[in-house]
Amino acid sequence: MKVLVTGGAGFIGSAVVRKLVSQQLADVVTVDALTYAGNMASLAPVMEAPQHRFVRADIRDGAAMASLLEKEAPDAVMHLAAESHVDRSIDGPAAFIDTNIVGTYTLLEAVRGYWSGLPLPRKEAFRFHHVSTDEVYGSLGPSGAFKETTAYAPNSPYSASKAASDHLVRAWHHTYGLPVVTTNCSNNYGPYQFPEKLIPLMILNGLEDKPLPVYGAGANIRDWLHVEDHADALWLVLTRGMPGQVYNIGGDAERRNIDVVRLICDLLDDLVPSGKSRHELITFVTDRPGHDARYAMDISRISGELGWRPRHSFESGLRQTVDWYLGNRNWWEAVRTGRYAGNRLGLGANGVSTAPAGAP
């Protein structure tokens, strides 16, 4: 089996590529435009593997996508290429519209053209897997969880752009018959995550005795999913999911943002003691505009139909993540010196701040 993975040099995409190649589950063609969040170093463990090939290309380039599909003749496409950070979408929504909506449309059309020309057995077996987010559902109250049937109510430019891309994928299935599966996941964490996100930012700031900025009172709740558990789920959905179906993927690990930060402080104090506790570095900052209160995922469909459940507890997964950042300083130092220095994002076009980014 050959799989083409878009956004394969990003955080989740590279985890998928490493899994498929290292476990010899498929031949993989990794496609990435290598924007700020794409990192070739995240593919280093599999870069030279004979069943892996990297292509630098942009999903917004329809001719390039059509040519690549004809040349590589994949059996499936896993679409993970996206602008993905809420704070960046507040500061610059245009890039999110361009990549997440126009890019997905362009890719869908290239894939539809390629798929239409396949012989019948390959045509029936082909899958287009669209990877999306729980943020398309909006915000939850103190109880309940998002189901696959929950109405969409996106509240940020990022989530609105992902909701639009989800609808495009659904339409291409129902209108043209393209065999698609869609997954909506909760907040990911783990090795190789770009350090603008909450967990790596807190780890790295804590290591450097910098402030640990927490939005508002830190009461916003997220369900945390280890990226390796997510990669496992994505492979199951690609190979065993029903065409046209949507699957929610979550970590069964709801935590308040402040509790996540405090646990990171405890781990850093234990693993790399400093002159003072990292808890003293916690700083509460002005909240993000339109900050959703709570996300939680009902994973009964993927558990019941495909037998998937997360392998990592949040505590064990977070410790593994902290250990990874401690042991891979070269990876994150290159990112922080080259593309992201820890400055705060998400204040809007006219916002000015020198404080680092905050919670998701």
The ranges assigned to domains in the chain are 2-194+225-255+290-314
Which CA distances in Å does 22 have to 15, 17, 37, 176, 178?
10, 8, 22, 35, 29
- At the topology level, CATH places domain 2-194+225-255+290-314 in Rossmann fold (3.40.50)
Give the mean pLDDT of 262-278: 96
The reported pLDDT for the residue numbered 343 is 47
Q: How large is the average pLDDT for residues 267-294?
A: 93
Please determine, for residue 345, whether its predicted confidence score (pLDDT) is greater than 80.
no
Q: Is 143 exposed, middle or buried (0-12, 13-18, 19+ CB in 10 A)?
A: exposed
Residue 134 known to be catalytic: yes
Residue of 125, 124, 21, 110 lying closest to 71 (CA atoms):
110
User: Any bridge partners for residue 75, and if so which?
Assistant: none
Q: Report the pLDDT value the prediction gives residue 289, as an integer from 0 to 100.
A: 84
Averaging pLDDT over each range in 81-85, 214-218, 285-289, which range is the top one? 214-218
Of 332, 62, 73, the residue nearest 197 (C-alpha): 332
The reported pLDDT for the residue numbered 291 is: 87
What is the per-residue burial (b if ≥16 Cβ within 10 Å, else e) of 82-91? bbbbbbbbbb
Q: Is 288 or 245 the better-scoring residue by pLDDT?
A: 245
Q: What average pLDDT score do residues 326-353 get? A: 64
Q: Is residue 341 pLDDT above 70, yes or no?
A: no
pLDDT of residue 86: 79
Point out the catalytic residue in the list 105, 114, 137, 158: 158
pLDDT one-digit tens code per residue, 26-70:
999 999 999 888 999 999 999 999 999 999 999 999 999 999 999
Identify whether 158 is a catalytic site residue.
Answer: yes
Catalytic-role residue among 32, 58, 83, 135: 135
Catalytic residue check, 135? yes
Candidates 32, 58, 87, 134; catalytic one: 134
Q: In the predicted model, what is the mean pLDDT of residues 256-263? A: 98
**pLDDT tier at 203, thresholds 50, 70, 90:** very high
